Amino acid sequence: MLISGAEIAKKVHAETKQRIDALKSRGLTPGLAVVLVGDNPASQAYVRAKDKRAAELGIHSLKHELPASTTQEELLSLVDALNADPALHGILIQSPPPPHIDEPAIVRAINPDKDVDGFHPLNVAKLALDDPTGFVPCTPLGCQRHLIEAGVQTAGARAVILGRSMIVGKPMALLLMAKGPGGDATVTVAHSRSRDLPAITREADILIAAIGRPGFVTADMVREGAVVIDVGINRVDDLIAPKGYRIVGDVDFQNVAPKCSAITPVPGGVGPMTIAMLMANTVTAAERLVS
């Protein structure tokens, strides 16, 4: 079974639109600010997609595109202004910023109540403590929604997460371990330094690949009947492709898919759900002001 993130995202957006309409009927329009520093092409594409989707849903969208020469102090000053703006309920600083920017310091400067990306230390702690008042990072939250919508039984399942980043791997592990729908799994977090990695990944009922290497997960690393969620978005050269490149995941899809009971494609899998959960988090931030 192919788990279409694009189709699930449509469902999430429909739910989010209803919530936005309900807020507007009470005189409140959710607001989201997206900040991009520099001219990274992939980041520019993400920011455009987020801004477009916010506008389509009826979210007040504010986009700041800053030059790569922007200083730490200038970026912090902008964050302070966004924190103070009552029309904005969510703030996202597109990652990665230029090397001279201290990204953790920028994240810590965002008001945790507006940190719809879920990376502020307070929100990370709330996730670890099963505190529902925090914000969960959008990509792992989208992965969990994939599993729920596909009817994948996570309770009691053996889940292996390939990758240990704060963006995906660590929060994904916390979500899968938590009690309730999409949780109650037995979780292993593996990475490039794990010994005998194929033996670990073959134990997985649910394998989530977020290691950032194109085609890294091969057929010999996946057990028959496993569910595979491919978080990777990698650009590889392809002279035959119209643009001269292709977007591929961390999974060798062609050879792995026949072994799976369910798998996400790339593109069209986790990517659309990341944006969908960002929009949903932004609306949640606005709802908390009137609840």
> 39 an active-site residue?
no
Which residue among the candidates 51, 94, 113, 144 is catalytic per the annotation?
94
| Residue type, position 215, single letter | G
pLDDT in tens, 31-59: 999 999 998 877 888 888 888 999 999 99
> 94 an active-site residue?
yes
> 179 an active-site residue?
no
pLDDT at 291 > cutoff 80: no
pLDDT at 79 > cutoff 80: yes
With CA atoms as reference, report the closest residue to 261 among 157, 178, 114: 157
What's the confidence (pLDDT) of residue 41?
78
pLDDT in tens, 269-289: 999 999 999 999 999 999 998
pLDDT at 28 > cutoff 80: yes
202 and 196 Cβ atoms separated by less than 8 Å? no
| Residue type, position 73, single letter | E
Distance in angstroms (rounded) separating the CA atoms of residues 262 and 189: 20
What's the confidence (pLDDT) of residue 26?
96
Distance in angstroms (rounded) separating the CA atoms of residues 166 and 125: 12
Distance in angstroms (rounded) separating the CA atoms of residues 155 and 182: 7
pTM of model > 0.75? yes
Which residue among the candidates 51, 115, 117, 250 is catalytic per the annotation?
117
**Residue with structure tokens 């600010």?**
33
Residue 199 burial class via C-beta count within 10 angstroms: exposed 0-12, middle 13-18, buried 19 and up: exposed
The DSSP bridge partners found for residue 5 are none
What the block records as the tokens of 268 is 């069209």
Where does residue 268 fall: left (phi above 0), alpha (psi -120 to 50 degrees), or beta otherwise?
left
